[in-house]
Chains A and B, each alone.
Chain A
């Protein structure tokens, strides 16, 4: 029963190839813009997460703190609520890191006293506690300890990034809404045009005893496949852009730790399925409204 419907839908699709391709292209473009925004959003969120985790507060000690005090301070820090791990970085460790970072230019450090860098503690914060408000008040308290020279944390730009991501999320949702509206509008006007162009044909179908189901099913199958093909194309384009950008990003060693992430496959599948269903349901709705004799 379903087979002849599909056959009719596709022989019809061939007859009106140009219009069908235009509609598919519009669907593809709309979904493309959405997936692209979503892709950027997910990656920004990822960056914020990585840095939120890695750039926990760093506690710099005064240079004159005796080595015997270090374990005490370590114990005090690890007992703070929200602290998951504490890592001690001695002046020598800090110097070695600096040398690794400078690589070929490490000669500039020749003769520099390794003690010129202060000893420090790097704190790792539990995910639940990772909030700018929490971290800044914690940093404020640690800063008052007599042994502490200063506390640094990535408040400024991580906070800024997170605020930006929140705004961006709203943009993604709003753009999804408008793109859905645009796609729906285009799909329904092509359907109306198709119905209008084939008014006579549809009248004849009615006269020879076709049910409404018989008349509308090919249109719905077409819309479904347009949604399917259009959104798959969009996902494919973003995927290839992703592969391309990923290669470029990989060349910057400084950004090496960040990496680039594509949308998770379940999200891709849902976006494609939702696009196809929205096109089909919307078409059924438009036909229902225009086919009432």
Chain B
């Protein structure tokens, strides 16, 4: 196990998550993901995909078990360390979690601003990423003025903007048509090629059907890892 810890960027040991009063969302999950891996996490709705990702960026605490992220035990993270841990992780939320009263630009810039970078430095990079997800002409719009698919792409742009070590994408193509979905996948693959570790939760078979990537399957909170 100690050997595995060294090469694994994500390591879950015997993790269970119980929601009160009686939901067992995850049961005895053992998971090792090495640096630079691209992993699909699949399973039916309600099987615990989002819960697993939420555990990884400390939005929830496991009921049982321990998680190591880049060698750091998450149970030992203090509230003041938490922001710095989260900056290493880019998250594409299933419900996007965009700031409604901030423009597309401001939403994407946010993940850089929280790290203390100022306007001049980030503007070019933010614009570049927004172009990359195909929203260059809507940079000044606000989330309520965008379609579902466009909002999803803003969420992706924000998650990747500060070049995190790990990207957790929760249904990043849920609202996209085939060409758009492929494009999102190619953005993720590009980042992966640069060394970013990626976990992509989805039940979109178009993404993982080709089978050349490791695919984890969750059923009722139980992980069948190949």
Interface residues in chain A, defined as those with a beta carbon under 8 Å from any beta carbon in chain B:
1, 3-4, 7, 15, 200-201, 203-212, 214, 293
- Closest chain-A Cβ to B88's Cβ sits at a distance in Å of 8
- Does B57 lie within 8 Å of A210, measured CB to CB? no
- Does A204 lie within 8 Å of B86, measured CB to CB? no
- Asked if A204 meets B97 with Cβ closer than 8 Å, knowing A209-B84, A210-B83, A211-B83, the reply is yes
- Does A15 lie within 8 Å of B101, measured CB to CB? yes
- Does B97 lie within 8 Å of A210, measured CB to CB? no
Partner among A1, A3, A7, A207 whose Cβ is within 8 Å of the Cβ of B57: A207
By a CB distance below 8 angstroms, the chain A residues around B11 are none
- Closest chain-A Cβ to B9's Cβ sits at a distance in Å of 17
- Asked if A210 meets B116 with Cβ closer than 8 Å, knowing A201-B99, A204-B99, the reply is no
Residue B91 at the A interface, CB < 8 A?
yes
Apart from A1-B118, A209-B114, A211-B83, what 12 extra A-B contacts exist at CB < 8 Å? Answer: A1-B116, A4-B113, A7-B119, A15-B101, A204-B97, A204-B99, A205-B114, A207-B93, A209-B83, A209-B115, A210-B83, A293-B79
Q: How far is the CA of A203 from the CA of B80 in the complex (A)?
A: 15
By a CB distance below 8 angstroms, the chain B residues around A205 are 110, 114
Q: How far is the CA of A212 from the CA of B57 in the complex (A)?
A: 17
Count chain B residues whose beta carbon lies closer than 8 angstroms to a beta carbon of A. 24
Interface residues in chain B, defined as those with a beta carbon under 8 Å from any beta carbon in chain A:
57, 59, 79-80, 83-87, 91, 93, 97-99, 101, 110-111, 113-116, 118-119, 158
Q: How far is the CA of A57 from the CA of B122 in the complex (A)?
A: 79
- Does B91 lie within 8 Å of A4, measured CB to CB? no
Tell me what chain A mostly uses at the interface: helix, strand, loop, or mixed.
helix
By a CB distance below 8 angstroms, the chain A residues around B110 are 205, 208
- Closest chain-A Cβ to B105's Cβ sits at a distance in Å of 12
- Does B114 lie within 8 Å of A3, measured CB to CB? no
Q: How far is the CA of A210 from the CA of B97 in the complex (A)?
A: 14
By a CB distance below 8 angstroms, the chain B residues around A209 are 83-87, 111, 114-115
Q: How far is the CA of A205 from the CA of B119 in the complex (A)?
A: 17
By a CB distance below 8 angstroms, the chain B residues around A210 are 83, 114
By a CB distance below 8 angstroms, the chain A residues around B91 are 207-208
- Closest chain-A Cβ to B134's Cβ sits at a distance in Å of 22
Q: Could you list 10 examples of A-B contacts with CB < 8 Å?
A: A4-B113, A201-B99, A204-B98, A206-B83, A207-B57, A208-B158, A209-B84, A209-B86, A209-B111, A214-B114
- Does A3 lie within 8 Å of B97, measured CB to CB? no
By a CB distance below 8 angstroms, the chain A residues around B57 are 207
By a CB distance below 8 angstroms, the chain A residues around B86 are 206-209
Q: How far is the CA of A4 from the CA of B85 in the complex (A)?
A: 22
